[in-house]
């Protein structure tokens, strides 16, 4: 068969896989041998069920401590005894045999006994967990003192403070005339009923006490429903009712609270929230943590004898907020430092994120709507401004074209009617001199002097026309000198009384700004001449930190201000010039009181504070 190549390859593969399997098995076995054996803790609970809130809280607390504070691998086994069963000795022996067989051959590091029935069971049957230290949990201080505990049995005792809880109830309900004490029929129930009778004996002189113990649950519920108004209930626990049925005390409490019309008090923290108003309670959670910490110390190598039984665990005044409201008990009347559980959150605290989200969403939607409305308004306004600007631009363009044509006609008329005729006359006179020269030198000098005067006048007129078209003085001598010269020329030419007031201005005035201000003064004085019929005007130019301010005022006829009165070509031209240099124009006028133009243009400088004001009077020639 090995001659077949396929059989040979199969044999090789089989051998390889066998070798790999053996190696894996050896590796796993070695790992199992190297893995440390887990530490084992057994927790004994007295009731034969795991539905008790106390059992659950203790279990969670023990496991939480080991999960948070221990790095070792710890197994926790819960065992539920039937200490409430009336089976007695036979039942106890059956549980002993069961646990003995279950943990035979296993090393138990620590046994935790919950409450006194589990502790008693363990003390009676120490052979089940031979050599394992015992930590008791939630065992009353008096019960610890009445038992002779071996040195390796330690724990933190608690105080079931029945008297302090009853004192609280009577102080919060001072009109109480009757107290009903409720307990079950289990051995633990009856033991605590006896404990309660002894504790409450000195209260019986002032109040009536009824012990509703060992009743069937239905009968107990009826008795609770028939209690008089001025009563309170002290609930111990009901592990068994009168029929022998095993119950969970917290569940029984919930059932009784539904039937009760008087307040209920108790000394166990797991009862808070299940029907009691509150009391001086011990905490199952804290006792579970206490037991777990002691077990950790033992497993870390400390001797139980060195640790010993600890000081009594402290209790807390604890109340249910819902029950306080139900029975109209003010929080101010509670003892200082009281813990209040199950406080119903205020509407804002309960729904604040929903409210905040809804408000935020509404605000966002409102902002979006407002934004859209603002955007629509701005768009419409911009469209209206564009249309208005287009109309203004068209009007300005028409006005500028008309003004340009009028200016051209004026210049053409002056050139034709004035300069051209004067030149023609000068040419005729020169031609006459050429045709018929004067007979004497004196006549020649006289005629040449006249011609020279005509040429000088003609040159002056041409200079004036050129200066009107473009002021060279503005570029050569500056803004103040140019405006002063303009005022002088206008006063001289039209017999006006013009006053010119000027501040020292900075040297570096942009040419666009200077030309703008000059043209505004020129246009304003032209308006004074043509429209105001004023005898004079005031031109004032100053400078400050905000820029240059120009004012032209007259005491003429003025005009009534309206939209049309400020839309003439002169005013439009002024505003457009100022817009280009970032300036502003304000016009004030009224009939018979004259007109005032205020101009402001910005400049990138600060005027020195020691400037001197110069006032000049351009007198009528």
User: In whole angstroms, what is the distance from residue 239 CA to residue 264 CA?
Assistant: 18
Q: What is the pLDDT of residues 14-73, one digit of tens each?
A: 676 677 667 766 555 554 554 567 899 999 998 766 568 888 899 999 999 998 877 778
Same domain, 222 and 167: yes
**Partners of 541 in the beta sheet?**
502, 550
Q: Are residues 93 and 219 in the same domain?
A: no
| Same-domain status, 121 and 262 | no
Task: Looking at mean pLDDT, say which of 297-306, 452-461, 478-487 comes out highest.
Answer: 297-306
Place of tokens 């006792």: 287
For residue 412, give both structure tokens: 């053409």
Give dist(CA 182, CA 140) in Å, integer: 19
**In-domain check, residue 190:** yes
The pLDDT of residue 51 is 66
* 412 band by pLDDT with thresholds 50, 70 and 90: low
| 118 pLDDT more than 80 | yes
- The whole-number pLDDT of residue 480 equals 87
> Alpha carbon of 373 to those of 363, 367, 384: distances in Å?
15, 10, 16
* Arithmetic mean of pLDDT, 146-156: 93
- What is each CA distance from 488 to 253, 482, 621, in whole angstroms? 113, 10, 9
Q: Please tell me what DSSP assigns to residue 138.
A: S
- Confidence tier at 621 by pLDDT (50, 70, 90): very low
| Edge-to-edge order in the sheet of strand 339-341 | 208-213, 178-183, 231-237, 264-265, 278-281, 316-320, 339-341
Q: What is the CATH number of the domain that holds 63?
A: 3.40.50.2300
How far is C-alpha 165 from the geometric centre of its chain's CA atoms?
A: 45
Max mean pLDDT range (195-209, 345-359, 448-462):
195-209
Close Cβ partners of 304 (under 8 Å, ≥ 6 residues apart): 133, 151, 152, 153, 154, 298
Q: How far apart are CA 361 and CA 131, in angstroms?
A: 68
Tell me: do 99 and 132 sit in the same domain. Answer: yes
Final residue in a domain of this structure, among 155, 187, 207: 155
Same domain, 190 and 57: no
Residue 86 lies in a domain: yes
CA of residue 79 relative to chain centroid, distance = 52
Q: Is residue 454 part of a domain?
A: no
Same domain, 49 and 30: no
**Number of other CB atoms surrounding residue 419 within 10 Å:** 15
Looking at the structure, do residues 594 and 490 belong to the same domain, yes or no?
yes
pLDDT at 416: 59
Q: What is the mean pLDDT of the chain?
A: 83
Domain residues for 512? 471-618
Contact partners, residue 49, CB within 8 Å, separation at least 6: 55, 80, 246, 248
Q: What Cα–Cα distance (Å) separates residue 18 from each residue in 13, 29, 112?
A: 9, 17, 49
Q: Band the pLDDT of 466: cuts 50, 70, 90.
A: low
Please count the structural domains in the chain.
4
How large is the average pLDDT for residues 575-585?
86
Global pTM reads 0.54
Q: Do residues 19 and 115 share a domain?
A: no
Residue 74 lies in a domain: yes
User: Residue 36 has what pLDDT?
Assistant: 62
pLDDT on residue 561: 62
* Residue 213 and residue 194 in one domain: yes
């Amino acid at each position: 068969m090995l001659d077949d190549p396929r059989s040979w390859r199969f044999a090789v593969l089989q051998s390889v896989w066998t070798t790999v399997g053996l190696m894996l098995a050896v590796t796993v076995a070695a790992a199992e041998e190297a893995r440390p054996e887990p530490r084992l803790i057994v927790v004994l609970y007295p009731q034969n069920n795991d539905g008790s809130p106390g059992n659950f809280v203790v279990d969670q607390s023990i496991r939480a401590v080991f999960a948070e504070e221990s790095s070792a691998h710890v197994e926790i086994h819960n065992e539920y005894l039937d200490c409430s069963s009336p089976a007695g000795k036979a039942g106890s022996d059956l549980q002993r045999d069961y646990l003995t067989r279950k943990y035979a051959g296993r090393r138990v590091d620590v046994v935790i006994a919950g409450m006194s029935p589990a502790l008693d069971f363990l003390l009676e049957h120490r052979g089940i967990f031979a050599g394992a230290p015992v930590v008791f949990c939630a065992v009353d201080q008096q019960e610890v003192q009445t038992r002779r505990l071996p040195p390796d049995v330690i724990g933190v005792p608690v105080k079931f403070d029945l008297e302090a809880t009853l004192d609280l109830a009577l102080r919060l309900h001072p009109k109480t005339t009757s107290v009903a004490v409720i307990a079950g029929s289990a051995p633990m129930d009856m033991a605590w009923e006896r404990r309660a009778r002894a504790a409450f004996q000195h209260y019986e002189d002032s109040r009536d006490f009824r012990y509703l113990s060992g009743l069937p649950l239905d009968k107990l519920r009826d008795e609770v429903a028939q209690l008089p108004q001025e009563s309170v209930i002290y609930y111990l626990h009901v592990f068994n009712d009168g029929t022998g049925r095993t119950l969970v005390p917290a569940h029984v409490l919930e059932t009784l609270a539904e039937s009760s019309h008087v307040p209920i008090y108790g000394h166990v923290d797991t009862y808070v929230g299940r029907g009691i108003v509150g009391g001086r309670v011990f905490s199952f959670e804290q006792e579970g943590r206490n037991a777990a910490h002691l077990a950790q110390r033992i497993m870390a190598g400390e001797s139980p004898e060195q640790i010993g039984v600890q000081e009594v665990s402290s209790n807390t005044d604890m109340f249910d907020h819902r029950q306080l409201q139900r029975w109209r008990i003010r929080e101010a009347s509670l003892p200082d430092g009281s813990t209040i559980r199950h406080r119903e959150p205020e509407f804002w605290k309960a729904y604040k994120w929903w409210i905040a989200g809804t408000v935020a969403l509404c605000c966002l939607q409102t902002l979006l709507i407002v934004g859209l409305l603002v955007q629509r308004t701005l768009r419409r306004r911009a469209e209206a401004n564009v249309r208005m600007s287009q109309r203004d631009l068209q009007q300005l363009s028409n006005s500028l074209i008309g003004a340009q044509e009028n200016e051209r006609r004026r210049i053409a008329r002056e050139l034709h009617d004035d300069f051209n005729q004067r030149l023609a006359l000068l040419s005729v006179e020169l031609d006459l001199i050429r045709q018929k020269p004067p007979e004497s030198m004196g006549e020649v000098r006289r005629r040449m002097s006249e011609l020279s005067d005509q040429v000088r006048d003609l040159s002056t007129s041409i200079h004036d026309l050129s200066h009107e078209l473009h002021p060279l003085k503005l570029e050569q001598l500056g803004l103040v000198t140019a405006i002063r010269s303009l005022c002088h020329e206008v006063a001289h030419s039209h017999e006006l009384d013009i006053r010119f007031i000027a501040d020292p201005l900075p040297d570096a005035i942009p040419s666009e700004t200077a030309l703008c201000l000059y043209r505004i003064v020129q246009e304003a004085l032209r308006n004074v001449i043509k429209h105001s019929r004023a005898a004079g005007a005031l031109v004032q130019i100053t400078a400050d930190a905000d820029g240059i301010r120009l004012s032209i005022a007259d005491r003429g006829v003025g005009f009534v201000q309206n939209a049309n009165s400020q839309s003439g070509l002169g005013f439009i031209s002024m505003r457009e010039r100022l817009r280009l240099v970032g300036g502003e124009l304000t016009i004030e006028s009224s009939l018979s009181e004259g007109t005032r133009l205020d101009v402001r243009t910005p400049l990138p400088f600060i005027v020195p504070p020691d400037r001197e004001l110069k006032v000049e009077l351009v007198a009528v020639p």
